[in-house]
Structures are given as C-alpha cells and as structure tokens.
C-alpha cells in the first residue's frame, strides 16, 4: 500500500465546560440555584457574597426609566448587581437587553461559547453594596423552615396516646397499630396479619392473644383525633365520623341515621348518586336521602390528609410584572413593566484580597491550580448574569405577546408556542424550554409558571386560532353556569364552543374537562 497525504476539512461542535455550566444554571429553579450558589461558595475560596444591602436604585425600583449601563458588570465593581437585568422597562417597546444579539448588557459571547475576560484582576476587586438576606438579625422567622416543619399523623396520635392510662401491653399494642397506619390514617392490614407478622404462623396461641390485644387497641385508636383514623376501609371511616357527629348531636339525627344506613350499602351506588335505589334500600324519603348524601359529601374520606408529609415548596417568582398605566394608543391597553425579582439574584463577587494575593505570587507552587479556581469563580458570576438576562428577555417577550391576558384574564390568552419566542429572540427552542421550566412570574392577577403562557391553538370560523387555555377557561365558565339538575354533556359543550366560533371536537372537550378535574355530566348532578 503506497503511503500518501490527504487534507480533510471537518466541522464539529464542542461544548466547553463554561458553556455546559451556563446551560445547567439556566435550567435550574430558584431554589436549586440557591443551593448551587451555596455549594460554590463553600468550594471556591475566590467567590464571596457581599454583605451590605444594595440600594433600591441598583435594581431600577426607584428610577424605572433609567437605561441600563454597559459598565454595570465590568469596571471596578465585579459583583453581579443585576442592574442591567433588573432595570425595569416597559414591555411596549424594545430595549437593548431585549435585542437578540449584541445587546449592551450582554457578555461578549464568541462563536465557540467562550466569554472574553478582563486580563487585569483589579477589575474583579472593589467593594460595592449588595443585599444579603441571609444575614438578618433573626427577628423574622425563615419562611422556608416554617413551611417544612409539621407534625406527622404518627406523632400526633402518639401524643394523644400518652394521655390514656393503659397497661404496658395495651400501650405497646396501640403503639404498634399507630405505626402500622398508612398516610391516609387507614389500617390496611388485618389484625390477623399483623399478629402473624409478630408471632409467626406456627404459634397459634400467641397469635390469638395478639389479635385480642389489637382489637382492644383498635377501638382505642378509633376514639382519637382525627375522627375516622384507624378505619379499615372508606365505609368504616365515614361511619366513625357519622357516629361521632350523632354523639355530639350535630345536625339532624334522622339525617345522620339515614347516612349511616347509606354507608352500609355498596359505595358504588353513592358514587353514582343512585338516589332511587338508595331510597329504597334505606327506607327513607327522597328528600331525606338527598340530605344524607349531602352530609356524607362533607365528611373527610382521608383523616390523615392534613398530616401528610408532602413536599412544601415555596414559589418565589423570578419575574415581577406590574401595571404602568394606559398606553397612548387608541386601544387603551395597559402598559406593563417587567423586572427581575431582586430577592432571587445572588450577590456575588470575586474576593479581591485573595485575587490580589494570587497576583503577587505568580509562579509559586500551586499557582496554576489557584488561577483555575479564580477563573471558575469569574465564569460562575458571568453565567449567573447570563441566566438572568435570558430570563428577563424571554419574560418581556411573553408579556408583549400575552398583553391581553394580563388585562382581561384567561379568556384573552393567545396561542403561543416555544418557536415563536425563539424566533423573536434569536434563541433555540431548547433554550426557551429551559428558561420557562420551574421559573415563575408574579403578575397583578396571580403567580404563574412561564410555561403556563404557552399553549396550542384551535381553529376558528374566521380562520384564526384560539388558545387552548382560553378554551379551557370557556369550558370552566360553561360548567359554572350550567343547570345543576341538567348538567352539560361534552357534546353540548362542543356545540356551545362552535357557537362561539371555535372548532372543538367532543373528545377534545373531554380531554380539557378531565384536565380541569371536572366530573362527567352524570356525576355533576346536584344532590
């Protein structure tokens, strides 16, 4: 084989570590970003949090029309002040931050995904005021900790059991049953199975003794709060609550007795609201049966609901939208000011003392490794700024597209897909998807996830499109105004939407109705 030389031209895309970090920070939620910042502060000695409170003008909260300065991030102040990102501007007109490329407030991103850094470390030093909400005097309780602290059902029942004067054996049996409850407060396993799990299937006498102890303990358990705890099924849970209501003389005694008889029947008839059969089986009048069913509907089917150890996440908005008066145009629409929430922006800078010490010991042992950590701190600050800049640009574009929603509500929502915002801002759809996931916007009419403003469109008779969000709002409106005795079927709702000029099939109506957690027509009849 004859050797030879050949020349080939190839092109490939390489994701630098800095660009990978930028993408990862972009898709993090506010709480996850806070955890990431804390971890970076612990690992990197060159990164520090500013301790002083930043002036309100730094976020544009006092002077809303102050243009963003190009030197907010560079020059002598090396902290991420967020002045460029948080400068509140109206969504009515374009701004430098909103430009898809080359904005005055954006880092200088080159084609390979890198940012040119200042060669002089002095630009990363200096002191600038910033707010650190974690360094408070401790007078106000931490809302996150308050939300996470709760008493479990097991602890609540154990605390009540301490007031009962029981023998050691009965106390142990009651404690075992409490520990065997599920999250809803039900005792799913039978007493026989629980006894066998302790004594084993061979020791019959011990099993019988345990069943007897557990029977006594179950009766004691069912006398504790919340009422209905320790039941083996839903019918028993409802019965316990009705008996407690009858003992306390709450409500009409005849209605309570009728409700008790209804609970003895198959619950499928109650779920179907089969009033005719229930009236015959319970031997009560139709009016009394309806009143009993209404009474049962007010009971708690899951006694342990309020003790469930669910994840309590506090929604902190990333973007704040405020009204700024009416426009000068003929439409008279409101103008809206879109700004970043300054409370969620970390106040970071490069530690000037450590950076100066590193410059004074060039060529020393370990200098290259420390220089790399300094570069990582710079990149981290740059990427966080880029994250908030992108969130602000996307939010302004969303508010501009969905201006009618902020004025008139869900019925005025326009169809919007990720590609629309991506094409407008010169970004990729995946970037818009990362930005709108787990990011929230506080508006005059509520707090919404950014993904909420996106939705597919349905065709109209005029050739336009109607947002799926607006269609769901119409369905909710139709159901709220329907005759309770004759609820609307999915076909009727589809016809009503057609009268509004919206082409929507019956199956689509059923899908939207289920998404809104609206029961079918046969289950929406008034009791």
pLDDT tens digit sequence for 58-104: 333 333 333 333 333 333 333 333 333 333 444 444 333 333 333 43
Q: Give the C-alpha distances (Å, rounded to integers) separating 203 from 189, 200, 503.
A: 19, 6, 70
Residue 228: both structure tokens together? 């209905």
User: CA-to-CA distance for 79 and 109, rounded, in angstroms?
Assistant: 19
Residue 326: strand pairing partners? 334
The percentage of residues in the chain with a pLDDT greater than 90, rounded to a whole number, is 29
**Among all chains, which residue has been given the structure tokens 């009858």?**
246
pLDDT digits (tens, 9 = 90+) for 315-343: 889 999 998 866 554 455 678 999 999 88
pLDDT at 48: 87
Can you read off the two tokens belonging to residue 405?
A: 């929603």
Strand blocks (E) in 169-304: none
Of 68-77, 359-368, 451-460, 483-492, where does the model show the most confidence? 483-492
pTM, entire model: 0.59
Give mean pLDDT, residues 463-474.
83
> What does the angle CA 341 – CA 349 – CA 138 come to, to the nearest 5 degrees?
60
Query: Is 391 a residue whose pLDDT tops 90?
Result: yes
Q: What is the mean pLDDT of residues 27-54?
A: 82
Each residue's pLDDT tens digit, 487-519: 899 999 999 998 888 888 899 999 999 989 898
- Residue 386's pLDDT is 92
Reported confidence tier of residue 420, pLDDT bands at 50, 70, 90: very high
Maximum average pLDDT range among 17-21, 142-146, 241-245, 466-470: 241-245
- Cβ count within 10 A of residue 276: 11
Mean pLDDT of the chain: 77
- CA proximity to 444, closest of 342, 317, 315: 317
Chain segment 336-356, per-residue pLDDT in tens? 999 999 888 888 888 877 777
Tell me the CA distances in angstroms from 76 to 43, 144, 216, one per residue in order. 25, 35, 76
Q: Which 3 state secondary structure label does DSSP give 153?
A: helix
> Confidence class of residue 114 from pLDDT cuts 50, 70 and 90?
very low
């Amino acid at each position: 084989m004859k050797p030879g030389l050949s020349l080939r031209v190839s092109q490939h895309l390489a994701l630098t570590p800095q660009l990978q970090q930028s993408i990862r920070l972009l898709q993090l939620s506010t709480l996850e970003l806070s955890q990431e910042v804390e971890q970076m502060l612990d690992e990197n000695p060159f990164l520090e949090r500013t301790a002083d409170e930043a002036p309100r003008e730094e976020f544009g909260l006092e002077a809303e029309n102050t243009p963003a300065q190009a030197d907010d991030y560079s020059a002598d102040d090396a902290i991420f002040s967020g002045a460029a990102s948080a400068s509140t501007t109206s969504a009515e007109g374009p701004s430098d931050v909103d430009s898809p490329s080359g904005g005055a407030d954006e880092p200088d991103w080159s084609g390979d995904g890198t940012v040119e850094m200042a060669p002089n470390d002095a630009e990363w030093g200096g002191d600038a005021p910033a707010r650190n909400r974690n360094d408070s005097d401790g007078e106000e309780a931490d809302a996150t900790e308050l939300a996470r602290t709760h008493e479990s059902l097991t602890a609540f029942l154990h605390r009540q059991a301490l007031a009962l004067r029981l023998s050691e054996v009965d106390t142990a049996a009651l404690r075992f049953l409490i520990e065997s409850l599920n999250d809803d407060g039900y005792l799913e396993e039978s007493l026989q199975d629980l006894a066998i799990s302790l004594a084993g299937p061979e020791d019959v006498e011990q099993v019988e003794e345990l069943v007897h102890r557990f029977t006594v303990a179950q009766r004691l358990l069912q006398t504790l709060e919340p009422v209905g705890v320790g039941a083996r099924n839903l019918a028993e849970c409802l019965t316990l609550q009705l008996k407690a209501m009858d003992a306390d003389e709450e409500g009409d005694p005849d209605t309570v007795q009728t409700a008790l008889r209804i609970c003895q029947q198959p619950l499928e008839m109650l779920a179907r609201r089969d009033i005719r059969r229930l009236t015959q089986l319970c031997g009560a009048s139709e009016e009394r049966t309806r009143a009993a069913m209404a009474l049962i509907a007010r009971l708690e089917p899951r006694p342990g609901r309020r003790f469930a150890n669910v994840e309590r996440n506090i929604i902190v908005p990333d973007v704040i939208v405020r009204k700024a008066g009416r426009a000068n145009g003929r439409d008279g629409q409101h103008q809206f000011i879109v700004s970043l929430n300054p409370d969620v922006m970390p106040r970071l800078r490069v530690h000037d003392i450590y950076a100066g010490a590193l410059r004074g010991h060039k060529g020393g042992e370990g200098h290259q490794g420390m220089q790399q950590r300094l570069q990582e701190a710079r990149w981290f600050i740059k990427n966080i700024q880029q994250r908030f800049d992108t969130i602000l640009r996307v939010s302004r574009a969303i508010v501009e597209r969905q201006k009618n929603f902020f004025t008139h509500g869900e019925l005025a929502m326009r169809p919007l897909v990720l590609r629309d915002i991506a094409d407008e801002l010169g970004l990729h759809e995946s970037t818009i998807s990362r930005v709108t996931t787990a990011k929230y916007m506080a508006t005059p009419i509520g707090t919404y996830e950014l993904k909420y403003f996106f939705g597919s469109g349905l065709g109209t008779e005029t050739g336009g499109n109607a947002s799926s969000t607006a269609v769901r709002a119409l369905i909710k409106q139709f159901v709220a105004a329907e005759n309770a005795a004759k609820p609307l079927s999915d076909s009727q709702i589809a016809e009503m939407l057609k009268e509004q000029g919206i082409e929507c099939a019956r199956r689509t109506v059923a899908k939207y109705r289920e998404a809104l957690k609206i029961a079918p027509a046969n289950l929406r009849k008034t009791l």
